[in-house]
């Protein structure tokens, strides 16, 4: 008969990724009895190696920036490579509206996530690794009950006052409660691998992420500090279903179709396995309830073209800590705290998705490949790319100006297709 261990806690966190470790560390620091349950043992592999400059203040607040920087590659900007325009464009974070955040990091997620998890433990959270949550009960008249199975054969139960689901793409609570929907505007999948010996950019730009467009979608090219480069392709799910070959051959075939990427990887060696992931973009309709909430990928996942994954997860972790702490300290104000959390989560997702789900459209490519700093519009877009979406109305208003030019560019292209005559009101790059 299996041994069962039953305990109580203030907060039960499911998942030890960036969102889970962040909220666990912050709540334990405030004196809450926090239990974090992680299905794997860290360090473990995870994709999504590129951070944003606005991740760094959060790393400072958690007290882990110095540890992470020792194994990270500095990233000073973004390079867009367009075969449709026959050129590349580089954007430096130092030119963003807020000049205080001129760089970010490229990280090995196995190392990065492990540092965050150890930090949560050091701050007082109880951490159970290799322990998979098997069931969550959310009764109306009692505290939540979380059941888990450890690799040691021990079954564990926790009666928690609050549950934070940071289980990533497992989406434990969304799978239980329903309401997880795919984004109809971005039915994509990704295939990726790691290479040694790839040709990188030179000088300070060596650590920059490169986004390379191709006929089916786009590639990422992320240099890591140990000499490895993460390379992945994002394309419509149908391309994967109809690939007619194994994943390695599929990825190498896609790379061969891009002259720029093929040249960078001509002397490179693939190390490890090629991996694919589907159902790329989704969001949960319900983000919180009376004594639970969802954070990070357990709440939503958007296309990684702007490297928003870790930033969004950690930002939600900070908001979640505030919301949970208020729910426990002031039950009469719990509903308001959760509404505020929901609104913040929806806002951060909307701020990025308008740009992300249009990145493959010719009008958007034209604007990125022929930038103009009219009305300081380019600086505002760079703030978005850096994660500075809370830099106030000056940035927000310029992003609306960018949207105006996007629609003007798109209209010009539609008119050109119909009449063959460019629209004089549109900027010149819209007619390239």
Reported as a single tens digit per residue, the pLDDT across 178-196 is: 989 887 777 889 999 999 9
Nearest to 304, CA basis, from 229, 428, 211: 211
Distances (CA, A) of 271 to 148, 193, 296, 432: 35, 7, 29, 39
Q: 258-305: per-residue pLDDT in tens? A: 999 999 999 999 999 999 987 678 999 999 999 999 999 999 998 889
Cα separation, 229 vs 200, in Å, equals 9
Distance, in Å, from the CA atom of 121 to the CA atom of 127, rounded to the nearest integer, reads 6
* Adjacent-strand bridge partners of 145: 137, 159
What is the rounded CA–CA span in Å between residue 193 and residue 204? 24
Q: Kindly list the domain boundaries of the chain, sorted by start residue.
A: 4-72+107-181+283-354, 188-277, 357-431
Judge contact between 387 and 55, C-beta under 8 A: yes
Q: How far apart are CA 23 and CA 16, in angstroms?
A: 10
393: exposed, middle or buried (Cβ count in 10 Å: 0-12, 13-18, 19+)? exposed
Which CATH fold topology does 188-277 show?
D-Amino Acid Oxidase; Chain A, domain 2 (3.30.9)
Evaluated on CA atoms 171, 175, 177, 181, the torsion sign reads positive
- Cβ atoms 334, 290 nearer than 8 A: yes
Right CATH number for 4-72+107-181+283-354 from 3.40.50.2300, 2.60.40.1730, 3.50.50.60, 3.40.50.1370?
Answer: 3.50.50.60
pLDDT value, residue 432:
33
Burial 190-210 (b: 16+ CB within 10 A, else e): bbbbbbeebeebeeebebbbb
Distance CA 55, CA 194 (A): 24
The pTM assigned to this predicted structure is: 0.93
The predicted structure's pLDDT at residue 425:
38
Closest CA to 306 of 359, 229, 368: 359
Q: What is the pLDDT along the chain (432 residues), one digit of tens a residue?
A: 456 888 999 999 999 999 999 999 999 999 999 999 999 999 999 999 999 999 999 999 999 999 999 999 999 999 999 999 999 999 999 999 999 999 999 999 999 999 999 999 999 999 999 999 999 999 999 999 999 999 988 999 999 999 999 999 999 999 999 989 887 777 889 999 999 999 999 999 999 999 999 999 999 999 999 999 999 999 998 999 889 999 999 999 999 999 999 999 999 999 999 999 876 789 999 999 999 999 999 999 988 899 999 999 999 999 999 999 999 999 999 999 999 999 999 999 999 999 988 988 999 999 999 988 899 999 999 999 999 989 899 999 999 999 999 999 999 888 766 665 544 433 333 333
């Amino acid at each position: 008969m299996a041994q069962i261990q039953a305990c109580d806690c203030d907060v039960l966190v499911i998942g030890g990724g960036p969102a889970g470790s962040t909220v666990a560390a912050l709540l334990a620091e405030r004196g809450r009895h926090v239990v974090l349950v992680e299905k794997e043992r860290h360090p473990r592999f995870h994709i999504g190696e590129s951070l944003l400059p606005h991740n760094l203040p959060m790393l400072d607040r958690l007290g882990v920036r110095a540890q992470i920087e020792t194994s990270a590659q500095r990233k000073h900007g973004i390079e867009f490579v367009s075969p449709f325009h026959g050129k590349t464009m580089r954007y430096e974070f130092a030119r963003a509206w807020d000049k205080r955040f001129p760089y970010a990091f490229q990280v090995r997620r196995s190392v990065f996530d492990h540092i965050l998890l150890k930090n949560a433990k050091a701050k007082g959270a109880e951490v159970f690794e290799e322990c998979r949550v098997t069931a969550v009960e959310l009764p109306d008249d009692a505290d939540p009950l979380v059941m888990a199975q450890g690799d040691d054969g021990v079954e564990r139960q926790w009666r928690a006052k609050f549950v934070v689901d940071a289980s990533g793409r497992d989406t434990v609570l969304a799978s239980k409660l329903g309401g997880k929907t795919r984004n109809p505007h971005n039915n994509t999948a990704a295939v990726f691998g790691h290479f040694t010996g790839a040709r990188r950019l030179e000088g300070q730009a060596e650590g920059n992420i490169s986004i390379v467009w191709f006929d089916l979608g786009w590639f990422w090219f992320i240099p890591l500090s140990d000499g490895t480069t993460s390379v992945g392709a994002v394309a419509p799910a149908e391309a994967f279903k109809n690939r007619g070959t194994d994943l390695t051959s599929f990825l190498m075939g896609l790379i061969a179709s891009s002259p720029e990427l093929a040249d960078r990887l001509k002397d490179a060696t693939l190390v490890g396995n090629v991996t694919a992931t589907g159902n790329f973009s989704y969001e949960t309709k319900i983000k919180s309830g009376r004594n639970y909430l969802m954070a990070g990928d357990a709440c939503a996942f958007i296309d990684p073209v702007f490297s928003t994954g870790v930033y969004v997860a950690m930002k939600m972790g900070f908001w979640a800590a505030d919301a949970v702490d208020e729910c426990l300290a002031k039950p009469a104000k719990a509903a308001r705290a959760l509404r505020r959390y929901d609104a913040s989560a929806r806002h951060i997702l909307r701020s990025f998705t308008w740009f992300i789900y249009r990145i493959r459209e010719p009008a958007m490519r034209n604007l990125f490949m022929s930038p103009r700093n009219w009305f300081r519009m380019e600086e505002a877009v760079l703030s978005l790319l850096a994660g500075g979406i809370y830099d106030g109305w000056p940035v927000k208003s310029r992003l609306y100006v960018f949207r105006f030019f996007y629609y003007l560019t798109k209209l010009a292209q539609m008119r050109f297709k119909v009449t063959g005559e460019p629209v004089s009101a549109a900027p010149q790059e819209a007619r390239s």
